[in-house]
Every structure is written in structure tokens, then in C-alpha cells.
Amino acid sequence: MRARRASNILLMSGFHMSSSVPAAVEFCSVSRHFGPTNALVKAVNSVDLTVPEGAFFAMLGPSGSGKTTCLRLISGFEKPTAGNIRIFGRDVSDIPPNRRNVNTVFQDYALFPHMTVRDNVAYGLMVKGMDRRLRESKAEEMLSLVKLEGYGDRRPSQLSGGQRQRVALARALVNEPRVLLLDEPLGALDLKLREAMQDELKTLQARLGITFVFVTHDQSEALSMADSLAVFNNGKIAQIGTPSEIYAKPRTRFVADFVGSSNVLSPKTTRLFGGPNRWSSLRPEALRLTAPDNVTLSGTVTSQRYLGTGNRISIALHGTEVSALIPAGQPLPKTGHTVGLAFDPAALHIMEDEK
């Protein structure tokens, strides 16, 4: 059962479950297919997934990989073609969205332009039939929670993008969902504001203690915010793990190439680097440039790219090309020069074969 609140302010209570309570969200061989048999689209294809209670969980992948469909399956906006979905142990596969105790923050915020900010936040409570005075009081509490005190009488058009995003967040939280779904909510913000909102969302989730399921195609966003994440590709999960596990030990070539930047090395090139006859991953920051006569590996610098915090150097090496990340302030070789390559053998990660 959900713990009773010490007060009527959500941030002071959270949802605290005993260790015997099931996971927040579970997918058991879930599929969602669209279209006729002769042109079937397998948007989600036999996915198994467990989201722990209280986690900040990210679903990461390119467009069309299945992550947003999974979010819609959790919310109830889509029904599975096969398999079962459980929320805190309850099978909700056939339960409508309004009976699932989850809420969604959309990328476009979906605010009502003719309503005040306060009425937007209180809308769900109004639909439930709550007394006007009480729902407005709760709306003001949520606006305070997202640092928008005093903005209740404004219209959405009078707010910045970041402020509208906070209103949408407050509207989702006022109904006290046990699982909050976020569908690329920061995608419309500029870089600086997006980074600030990443920190605020992470802090807010930790204070509330409820489960966040966050969909994004932005690798840095997922790595910096999530406790754990699932990387999607072609309707399936390619890998699940913590951000450090996904980054340092990608399971497949797709994960290595999609999450961050990596040198994905063919079996032939892996052997040159001292590894077995297998595909491998070597992150650019693991490579060091040295004098070519001091090491067994050497290549020719083909290009340089300034990144602000450092420079990415491309090196042609025995018919392939690898990248090295050189921190700012270190001397750079000129294009066309020969350089040696050195690295810690432990940084060479051997991957599974693609399925």
C-alpha cells in the first residue's frame, strides 16, 4: 500500500513501498504490431523489461526503435498485441489509461491555451470532481514545487519554453501518479535550458521518490539523468544496464555506435590492437598519441575537430580509421603526420555478435 502522507504536500511524502512490493513496471514478452499481415510493422517485438520502484529509468534509442510505443503501452494509449504489462504487480494490459495511476508529460506539453496556468495544473483534479478551492490549493502547491510561485494567473503563451515544461510537469504530478512517464519533454528546449532542466528533473525525482520513465533519443541526456536505461533498436531491447555499464561495456556494435562515440573495431582491427578475432569497442578517450617509434601501432592523422573541451583526431590505420580524444591544452599533431597509438588493454571491450 502507498504510505500515508505526513502532510498534503506531495514533496513531503513521496511513495514508499516495502521490499515485498513488486517492481513499478514489468513487461512480459510484450509486442505491439501494426498493419496487415502482409505489411506488418513490429513496433515492439517480444520485450521483457523491469523498471524498479523509485527508479529514474530511461528508454533510449533512435526514431522508430520502439521506445515511445513502450511508453504508450505503459500509459494505456496503446494495447499490446501479445504479452502482459504489470504496474506494481497488477496486470493492466486491458485497463484504460484513467485507471492506471500513471501520468504523462508530453514533448509539446499539451497545455490548454485558453486556461490560466493554475487551471491547467488543476485540470485533472477538476475532472475528478474535486472542490474548486481544494484543487486550486493543490495546484499552487505543485507550482511551488516546480518553482513557479506567482505564475498561476498567467496564460501558457506568456511563459518561456522552460516554464511551460514546468507547468506540464506540475499538471502531471498534481494527480499523485505512482509512475510518471516523460516523452522527450526537453526536446524543444535550447541546450543551456535543457541542461538546467535535466538537473532539476533529477533533483525533483529524488525528492518525490516516485518512478520516472523517461523516453529520449539524446544519449548524453540518458547517461546523465538515469539510474538505469534500456537501449532500443528495431522494436527490441539491445541492452539494459546502468549508464556506466552501457557506456563502458556495450553489448553489441549498435549500442557501441549509438551510445556516445566509440571506435567500433572489426575482428581484423581488434587483432591489431592485441585482442581476439572478435568485434570490439574502444572509446576515443582511451587512446593516447605517442611518438610513432615507441609503439607497435601507428597511423596517419587525417583530420581534426575542435570540440571546446578537447579535440577529436582521426587517424588512418591499416585500412581503417580510428578517433582519439585529446584534452584541451595538449599539443596537437598536424594533419598528414604519423603518430603512435597507445592504450590500456583493459579499455578494449570485446562485444557479442549481432543477433
Answer with the residue of higher pLDDT: 304 or 5. 304
- Grid look-up 551510445 returns 259
What span, in angstroms and rounded, lies between the C-alpha atoms of 250 and 260?
Answer: 10
- By the 10 Å C-beta count (0-12 exposed, 13-18 middle, 19+ buried), 130 is classed as middle
pLDDT in tens, 58-95: 999 999 999 999 999 999 999 999 999 999 999 999 99
355: confidence class by pLDDT, cuts 50, 70, 90? low
pLDDT for residue 22:
64
Reduced to 3 DSSP states, what percent helix, strand and coil does the chain have, rounded to the nearest 5? 30, 30, 40
pTM for this one? Answer: 0.84
Q: What residue type is 205 in one-letter code?
A: Q
d(CA 339, CA 179): 52
Please give the pLDDT value at position 343.
Answer: 92
255 near 62, Cβ under 8 Å?
A: no
Q: Kindly report, residue by residue over 172-207, the tens digit of the pLDDT.
A: 888 889 999 999 887 767 777 788 888 888 888 988
Q: Which residues of 201-240 are buried (b: 16+ CB within 10 A; e: fewer)?
A: bbebbeebebbbbbbbbbbebbbebbbbbbbbbebbbbbb
- Domains of the chain in sequence order: 17-253 (3.40.50.300), 268-350 (2.40.50.140)
Answer for the pair 315, 323: CB distance below 8 angstroms, yes or no: yes
